[in-house]
């Protein structure tokens, strides 16, 4: 459901908290989650702490991808275009038209559900706005009612006309996202990529990694073997040694795993002592423990 609230200026985080309590929370209750862009109000410590204290999860849209909060972005475009049409004759009176634009948006059935936002929230469809014609005792009241009807009709007509155009144009450039699996390797688009990278990316920013002679297909790592009931992995080679506390550790290159999986392992966990002897013969300068082999 859409709520359009006129403000004199861009609100600060405390102002935003007051507006949300007055215009949203009192009507719909405390939300479980709020999705927003990364405006200064929404990334402030005040807003984060305010939401945390009320038990609200905060979800920020992905950088350079406003479609993350697609509903809001679409409604913003619709409201802007409707107000531009409705306020063409009197731009300074745009805020007076907001209630009827909101009424038109919330009363228009959705193509996905067949129900209007108003119907989903309240359980019934709002009545069609009309003005009873006939003799009136107060001409000013009649003019005000006619003005409301005119604004509502123009807003609704424009909504019906442009909603189909927006959907058609948006779907023209969309394709079904591939189905990704946990652990699957992908390409990440570096467009708009900042120096500090967030660990979450929108699906439109990645593509599945296809095999080629430059990039062979990823094979699953070999499972561990069981030796005396404990998992054991095969060592390809020992790369270096170092003193660690009272003992020695070896930098192990594991068979079937990439360089990113190399790790330091205590000497007592290297089961193949021939590998240790071979390593020190080839690298006599590397630290070694007491000879007990």
Q: List, for residues 98-119, the tens digit of each pLDDT value.
A: 888 888 888 888 777 788 888 8
Alpha helices in 220-272 (DSSP H): none
The mean pLDDT of 133-141, rounded to a whole number, is: 69
pLDDT at 248 over 60: yes
159-188, pLDDT tens digit by residue? 666 555 555 555 565 667 778 777 777 777
Could you say which architecture CATH assigns to the domain 225-282?
Answer: Beta Barrel (2.40)
pLDDT at 17 over 90: yes
pLDDT at 19 over 90: yes
How far, rounded to the nearest angstrom, does the alpha carbon of residue 95 sit from its chain's CA centroid? 31
Return the sign of the alpha-carbon dihedral for residues 102, 107, 108, 113: positive
What is the predicted pLDDT for the residue at 245?
86
Report the range of poorest mean pLDDT among 76-80, 99-103, 144-148.
144-148
d(CA 107, CA 115): 9
Q: Give the Å distances, CA to CA, from 128 to 10, 86, 108, 151.
A: 34, 19, 11, 13
Percentage with pLDDT > 90 across the chain:
22
Query: In this structure, are strands 33-36 and 57-60 parallel, antiparallel, or unpaired?
Result: parallel
Give per-residue burial for 53-62: e unless 16+ CB within 10 Å, then b. eeebeeebbb
What is the predicted pLDDT for the residue at 293?
43
pLDDT band at 256 (very low <50, low <70, confident <90, very high): confident
What is the predicted pLDDT for the residue at 219?
65
Tokens of 38: 């990364």
* Mean pLDDT taken over the chain: 79
Domain boundaries, the chain: 85-174, 225-282
Report the range of poorest mean pLDDT among 41-45, 159-163, 279-283.
159-163
What is the predicted pLDDT for the residue at 136?
66
213-237, pLDDT tens digit by residue? 655 555 667 777 887 777 788 899 9
What is the predicted pLDDT for the residue at 46?
92
What is the predicted pLDDT for the residue at 220?
67
């Amino acid at each position: 459901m859409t709520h359009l609230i006129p403000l004199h200026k861009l609100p600060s985080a405390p102002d935003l908290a007051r507006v949300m309590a007055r215009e949203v929370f009192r009507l719909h209750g405390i939300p479980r989650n709020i999705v927003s862009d990364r405006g200064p109000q929404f990334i402030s410590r005040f807003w984060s702490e305010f939401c945390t204290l009320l038990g609200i999860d905060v979800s920020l849209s992905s950088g350079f991808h406003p479609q993350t909060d697609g509903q809001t972005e679409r409604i913003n475009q619709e409201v802007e275009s409707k107000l531009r049409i409705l306020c063409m004759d009197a731009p300074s009176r745009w805020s007076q038209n907001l209630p009827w634009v909101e009424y038109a948006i919330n009363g228009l059935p959705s193509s996905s559900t067949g129900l209007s936002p108003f119907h989903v929230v309240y359980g019934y469809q709002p009545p069609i706005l009309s003005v009873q014609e006939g003799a009136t005792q107060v001409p000013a009241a009649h003019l005000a009612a006619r003005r409301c009807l005119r604004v509502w009709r123009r807003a609704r007509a424009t909504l019906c006309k442009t909603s189909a155009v927006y959907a058609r144009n948006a779907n023209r450039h969309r394709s079904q996202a591939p189905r990704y699996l946990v652990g699957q390797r992908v390409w990440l688009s570096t467009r708009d990529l900042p120096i500090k990278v967030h660990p979450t990316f929108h699906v439109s920013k990645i593509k599945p990694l296809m095999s080629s002679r430059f990039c062979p297909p990823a094979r699953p790592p070999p499972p561990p073997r069981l030796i005396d009931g404990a998992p054991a992995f095969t060592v390809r080679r020992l790369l270096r040694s170092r003193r660690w506390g009272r003992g020695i550790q070896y930098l192990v290159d594991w068979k079937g795993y990439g360089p990113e999986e190399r790790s330091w392992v205590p000497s007592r966990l290297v089961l193949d002592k021939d590998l240790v002897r071979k390593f020190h013969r080839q690298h006599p300068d590397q630290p070694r423990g007491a000879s007990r082999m």
